[in-house]
A and B are shown apart, each in its own frame.
Chain A
Amino acid sequence: MIGLRLPPTKLSFSGAVGAERLLLLGVRLMPRRPNRALARDLETDRLRLRSIGPLRLLWQIAPWHRDPELMEALRGHRGPMPLIKWLSSGGRPNNIHRFCYAIVPKGQSKPVGVIYMNLSWTDSSAATHMAISDPAWRGHQVSVEARSALLTLFFDNGVTVFTAEPRARNLGSIFVYKKLGFRVVGAVRFDPEEAEPDRIRFVMTREAWRERQARIAGTAPSQPAGPDR
């Protein structure tokens, strides 16, 4: 079923499925070293992307539970969210399958957001999520710039396709994926009882990304400086 040869046995069909699941679980649980090629700092024109671990991530995102705009965009939760619920609602970076980067504008020390990159267990596909916590930096192409740098890094290190499924009303996130050239491949029905689908599914392949980057190389206008301080 997955191209691996199981040892010859006389297992029943359900037994064979169970054996396959145990095998996949074993592969998933095998100790793996951190991926240093991906868990590293990057720089763009205006930003520093700093690879961070779980404790620093928790420290940075803890105050976000009070921001109703962030809670609506990230969790579909109206209004502020209880702190414990917020901190327990997301994955933690392990620098093996889940990576997290603090977004720090050059010339500043305080991050203005974080970006997550999650690899599938085969390391060939990935997904990305991010949030800009500082409202002064929203609408200044920070998401596009940060994601663009990380997409290039991940595509250059084995990932062949990125997927994304933002909520249909997360319009800022949808804009970023469209701006980056992600292709809409469908709408995802989150709740079968709902009349309208709740998410939009995007895809970007490594080939499409590299073609896009080659096309815009040398012709992109300079990035806006950022919010007036």
Chain B
Amino acid sequence: MTADPAELVARALDIQGSVSLEDDMSSLPAWTSLTHVRLILEIEAALGRTLTAEEIGSIDSVRAVAAVLAVAGVAT
């Protein structure tokens, strides 16, 4: 199963427009504490496992999401 990190973030944050690899918590107003929970759950669903504490602590941008997915070999 593969997952595009920008699409995954857009889906979790319910963003209708485009999300780029350069976006992060500061550039996306829709990235709130509630949507952050949804994002973590979406990533775990894509990976098929629970994220480690280190992975959870690293996620603050689309690029960070891509890095987590790439390590697991599911990023497109």
Binding site for B on A (CB under 8 A): 138-141, 143, 168-169, 171-172, 174-176, 178-179, 184, 187, 196-200, 221, 224
| Complex alpha-carbon distance, A178 and B54, angstroms | 13
* Contact status A139-B57, CB under 8 Å: no
Please name 21 pairs of A and B residues whose Cβ atoms are closer than 8 Å in the assembled complex, sorted by A.
Answer: A138-B34, A139-B33, A139-B35, A141-B32, A168-B53, A168-B56, A168-B57, A171-B40, A171-B56, A172-B33, A172-B34, A172-B37, A175-B25, A176-B33, A178-B59, A179-B25, A187-B52, A197-B52, A197-B53, A200-B56, A200-B57
* Contact status B56-A174, CB under 8 Å: yes
List the A residue with the shortest CB-CB distance to B56: A168
Interface residues on B, range: 10 to 19
| Complex alpha-carbon distance, A140 and B34, angstroms | 9
In the complex, which residues 32-76 of chain B have their Cβ closer than 8 Å to any Cβ of chain A?
32-37, 40, 52-54, 56-60
| Complex alpha-carbon distance, A132 and B40, angstroms | 21
* Contact status B37-A171, CB under 8 Å: yes
- Chain A contacts for B40, CB-based, 8 A: 171
B17 interface contact, C-beta 8 A? no
* Contact status B53-A172, CB under 8 Å: no
- Chain A contacts for B34, CB-based, 8 A: 138-139, 172
Distance between B19 CB and nearest chain A CB, rounded to angstroms: 17
* Contact status B33-A184, CB under 8 Å: no
* Contact status B33-A175, CB under 8 Å: yes
List the B residue with the shortest CB-CB distance to A139: B34
* Contact status A175-B36, CB under 8 Å: yes
Identify which of A174, A196, A221, A224 gathers the most chain B CB atoms within 10 Å of its CB: A174
| Complex alpha-carbon distance, A52 and B26, angstroms | 32
Distance between A15 CB and nearest chain B CB, rounded to angstroms: 42
- Chain B contacts for A143, CB-based, 8 A: 33
- Chain A contacts for B25, CB-based, 8 A: 175, 178-179
* Contact status A140-B54, CB under 8 Å: no
- Chain A contacts for B59, CB-based, 8 A: 178
Across the interface, B29 reaches (CB within 8 A) one of A174, A175, A200, A221, namely A221
- Chain B contacts for A178, CB-based, 8 A: 25, 57, 59-60
With A171-B37, A172-B37, A179-B25 already in contact, the answer to whether A140 and B32 are too (CB < 8 A) is yes
Given contacts A175-B36, A200-B56, 16 further A-B contacts (CB under 8 A): A139-B33, A139-B34, A168-B52, A168-B56, A168-B57, A171-B56, A172-B34, A172-B36, A172-B37, A187-B53, A196-B53, A197-B52, A197-B54, A198-B53, A200-B57, A224-B29
* Contact status A200-B33, CB under 8 Å: no
* Contact status B52-A196, CB under 8 Å: yes
Distance between A115 CB and nearest chain B CB, rounded to angstroms: 14
